[in-house]
Amino acid sequence: MIKFLDLHAQYLGIKGEIDAAIEDTIRCAAFIGGENNERFERNFAAYQQAEFCVGVGNGTDSLEIILEALALPKGAEVIVPANSFIASSEAVTRSGYRVVFADVDPVDYTLDPADVARRVTSRTAAIIAVHLYGHPCDMDALLSIAREHDLKVIEDCAQAHGAEVDGRRVGAIGHAGSFSFYPGKNLGAYGDGGAIVTNDRELALRCRMIANHGRIDKYDHRFEGRNSRLDGLQAAILDVKLRHLDGWIDRRNAVAAAYMRGLKDIDGLAIPTIRRGHRHAFHLFVVRTARRDELARHLGEAGVQTGIHYPIALPKLQAYRYLEQYDEPMFANRADVELLSLPIGEHLSAEDAHYVAQSVSQFFS
């Protein structure tokens, strides 16, 4: 069986380091804040090439905290891709803003800048640029729209730790970046976790205060915030895993390259492309075919686990029917029946990748 994800195998590969980090944290009782967190925040900021990093409770909170810290005008519109996980849009509504879905590009599935430009109004205040599946958005185009209309750009990097645009890591290319350390992400904790990165010192401080009851000192609360902290055990675990992340992303890229070699020129199957100068983090390897469900069944019978990201486009979810975008002829409204995620990860050997590619080719021949 070729597993979609194998977190146990990953643990076994680094067991000594992880166990030591957990033991250390418990011995020092460094459960909230302290040296573990400071070290991880420093290392993760450096890894993402950002000046500041603030650990938070999860990736949804990190989006909400950034939105709150940016203090957009009341009732502002925020543009979100129609193909993403619900957290990308949920954070907008929960922060008191209005979601405006924009279509995604039918080739790389990230925000289509032309559609974003069409949806900008006088009330638009920000864009959530989701680097979906680990592939960076077209940041040049999005930043130029943002400059023209004075919009904030928040990068949702939940799937894109380590991804790059022209040698620059994602996260601090826009105003702020949001990361999730949900266990299945490329950099995953052993529970929930998240982080905010930015090059804006004021914004980083505001985020840190919002995430910690609005305080800057133990009982010096400047305003009401909330409790959303990265706990010390998770910080210790993440700091160990961060040392391995580049190697794991390289492995993901090797598996992706094997798939791309094995699956090119198949009629009726579109494979991922990587925009020039980008480093894809390959959180997911997503193919597109009109025969999606049949292919998934065929692979299941061949012992290959697959996934669907996402089975219902955001505008079609009951939560968003009030926006009345569910029947717009957007590509995103069709993506949910044509996209299939093949297994990818450092747990796959070259033989596994070869077997998966062969099983897919066999289906189409």
For ligand PLP, the binding residues (CB under 6 A) are 58-60, 84-85, 87-88, 130, 156, 158-159, 180, 182, 192, 194
Of residues 186 and 253, the one with the C-beta less far from ligand PLP: 186
Question: Minimal distance in Å, beta carbon 284 to ligand PLP?
Answer: 9
* Token pair in block for residue 59: 């990736």
Using DSSP, state whether 49 is helix, strand or coil.
Answer: coil
Residue 111's closest CA among 134, 89, 137? 137
Question: Minimal distance in Å, beta carbon 189 to ligand PLP?
Answer: 9
Of residues 154 and 304, the one with the C-beta less far from ligand PLP: 154
CA distance 272 to 46: 29
Tokens 């094997």, located at residue: 258
Of residues 193 and 225, the one with the C-beta less far from ligand PLP: 193
If one counts every other C-beta atom within 10 angstroms of the C-beta of residue 349, the result is: 12
Of residues 91 and 269, the one with the C-beta less far from ligand PLP: 91
Report CA Rg, the chain. Answer: 20
If one counts every other C-beta atom within 10 angstroms of the C-beta of residue 185, the result is: 21
- By the 8 A CB rule, do 103 and 241 touch? no
Of residues 314 and 357, the one with the C-beta less far from ligand PLP: 314
Question: Minimal distance in Å, beta carbon 113 to ligand PLP?
Answer: 18
Residue 181's closest CA among 170, 190, 191, 193? 193
Tokens 């390259």, located at residue: 257
Of residues 130 and 360, the one with the C-beta less far from ligand PLP: 130
Question: Minimal distance in Å, beta carbon 212 to ligand PLP?
Answer: 18
Tokens 């077997």, located at residue: 355
Does the bond joining 310 to the residue before it have cis omega, within 30 degrees of 0? Answer: yes
Question: Minimal distance in Å, beta carbon 27 to ligand PLP?
Answer: 28
Closest CB to ligand PLP belongs to which residue? 59
Question: Minimal distance in Å, beta carbon 218 to ligand PLP?
Answer: 28
